Each structure stands twice: as C-alpha cells, then as structure tokens.
Amino acid sequence: MTSILKTVQLSHKYSSSWAIRDINLELNQAGVIGLLGSNGAGKSTTMNIICGVLNQTEGSVFINGIDLREDPELAKQNIGFLPQNPPLYTDLTVDEFLTYTAELRKMEKHTIREAVNEAKEKVGITHFSTRLIKNLSGGYRQRVGIAQAIIHKPKLVVMDEPTNGLDPNQLIEARKLIKEIAQERTVLLSSHILSEIHLLCREVIMIEGGRIIFSDSMDAFNNYVQPHSLLVRFENPPSVADIQAVHGVNKVEFLTGKQARVFFEGDEEIAERIIDAGGKQDWRIREISLEKGMLDDIFKQLSSKSLQ
C-alpha cells in the first residue's frame, strides 16, 4: 500500500544550525496524527517542507508515492495546508476567496462552484458566503482557512497550531470539525499543547531539538501522562465544590482569585465538561490549558529515553 506521507532522512539547516535532522515519517491511513513539540522544536519547519513551502537541505518527501521535489505540482494536488497564520485575503468575500483558492489549485472550472459549496457546508460557513472575510470573527476566519485546505479533497491535510488564539467555545467547535475531516483523510496536526494532542489524535509524533524522540500510538504515549492537571482562568470564579462536582475532577486548588489548578485522571473529555459546566453556571471561562510543567516533564522523560 502506498503511504499517504513518507519522509526519508528529512533534514534542514538555517545558516549553520540544523533545524531538523533525520526526520523519518510514514502515514498510511485516515485519522489525526499529532506532531507535538515545544516552541522551536522544528514542527513548523517540518510541516513547511512537507507542504512544499520550504525546500529541504537533505532528504526526501513523498506524497501518495509522488516525490515532492521531482513533481511538486502533482504532489501538491494531494495536500491541503492550514498554516499557523492562514493567509486570508480579507477584502474578499468568503465565496470569492474560496473560488480563488480552487483556481490556484487548477481545479476544473465546472467543478469549482460545487466544491466551494461543499467546503462551506463542511465547515459551517454557508451563511457567510457573501460576507467580507475581514468582518468575520477569529473563529470563523479559522473555518475559512480550513475550507481552503480541504476544497480540493486532498488525501493529506496539514494543520499548524489550528486552534491557536481561539476561545474555549471556539476550541470545542474546531476540535469537532477536525475530527470530522479526519474521518475521510489523514490530518497531520502540530501543537505544543499536550491537551490538544490528547483530545484529537490516535497517534503521536514528538519532535524535540529537531529530532523525533517518540512515535507511537496515543495509548503508548499516555503511559507518560500521569495524573493530569489543567489551569483554568475564570472571570466569574465558582466555588471549589462547584468545580469538583464536574465528573472526572479529583481535586481543585485556587492559585489566585480567578485561576485554579484542576486535577483529573485519564479522561480526555474533562476540558469539554468543565467548559460545559462553566457555560451553564456562568463561570465565564477565559482560558483552559494543560499545565505547562507537566509537558516539560514528559519532554524530559522521552528525551532521556531516546538517548539511552
């Protein structure tokens, strides 16, 4: 079976420093694959090379069996890319922009209108067809970015920090949409947020210092994730008892008047349940994230193991 994505000894150097070194990946089936790493680990460099935005210093990339360097146009027909900051033309309407991106991908003219309508329906922006992109909220702009990435029905969709900057409610919607897209194609999703990877992915690839230090299933990765804690910031803080009433919460401690550390264990839906409870009880959640220190500890464990 031909791999949807395969990289061989992929390496890239900026000036005299290697950003990534000997990255070997092989993705063969639909679903979300998480590319996890701290800021500066080499995730974006890897993704930019895979999508043909950046030429690698060494190594090869094959998209659906096609060498990206030898036949970039054919290879890119199988790639959809959502950069960390989607390059939206904000003075165009949603329809105008999606039509333009379809034309850029050299889709046959008679298929474009149907493709635009299908992409809009998929991401839930049909009602904004004639609205200027600059007049959309951040969450809906992100949906337009996702629509342009799937309009040509690629086999591989690459998303670089797709939920960056979204509020908690937008996060839930974006995660649901990503899962739906991944039912039909392979999604390679990068993040430095462990909870994002934990909620969305069936497999995890971790890059640190430009090298792969872990590549396995989410179940195997979970062996390194012991008990969990979230940091939650409220505008209208609830009582400790109210938070502990959420199913799956083990312990709560307030760090400041408006920020709490919430401990839980092995429950991938806990963030959604806290957000849901907060909406019903008017907690006005402003931020929710896995505690950074835990992610650093996991990096250290995996990095140490890779050196053994």
- Candidate ranges 39-43, 80-84, 190-194, 289-293; pick with highest mean pLDDT: 80-84
Q: For residues 121 and 123, give the distance between their C-alpha atoms in angstroms, rounded to a whole number.
A: 6
Residue 99 belongs to a domain:
yes
Reported as a single tens digit per residue, the pLDDT across 38-74 is 778 899 999 999 999 999 999 999 999 999 999 999 9
Beta bridge partners of 187: 32, 157
Same domain for 54 and 28?
Answer: yes
Q: In this structure, what token pair is assigned to residue 178?
A: 């990503």
At 173, which CATH number? Answer: 3.40.50.300
In angstroms, the Cα distances linking 270 to 82, 164, 229, 249 are 27, 19, 10, 8
Are both 235 and 101 inside the same structural domain?
no
**Coil, helix or strand at residue 25:** strand
H-type alpha helices, the chain: 43-50, 72-76, 94-104, 109-123, 138-150, 168-181, 194-200, 218-222, 240-244, 270-281, 292-307
DSSP 114-139: HHHHHHHHHHT-GGGTTSBGGGS-HH
- For residues 48 and 183, membership in a common domain is answered with yes
How high is the pLDDT of residue 129?
97
Q: Name the 3-class secondary structure at 54.
A: coil
The range of the structural domain enclosing residue 289 comes to: 228-296
| 260 vs 221 pLDDT, higher one | 260
Q: Model-level pTM?
A: 0.76
- Return the structure tokens found at 20: 């990534």
- 308 lies in a domain? no
- On whether both 74 and 130 belong to a single domain, the answer is yes
Averaged pLDDT, 228-232: 85
pLDDT of residue 306: 55
Confidence of residue 11 (pLDDT cuts 50, 70, 90): very high
**Count of domains in the chain?**
2
Task: Write down which residue in 162, 197, 222 finishes a domain.
Answer: 222
Residue 243 located in a structural domain: yes
Pair (97, 190) in one structural domain: yes
Q: Which tens digit of pLDDT belongs to each residue from 89-139?
A: 999 999 999 999 999 999 999 999 999 999 999 999 999 999 999 999 988
Residue 306 maps to a domain: no
Closest CA relative to residue 206, chosen from 194, 120, 15: 194
Q: Give 3-state DSSP helix, strand, coil % of the chain, rounded to 5.
A: 40, 30, 35
Of 242, 206, 209, whose CA–CA distance to 221 is shortest?
206
Top-confidence residue, 119 or 184: 119
Share of the chain above pLDDT 70, in %: 91
Residue ending a domain, choose from 222, 244, 260: 222
Report DSSP state, residue 93: B
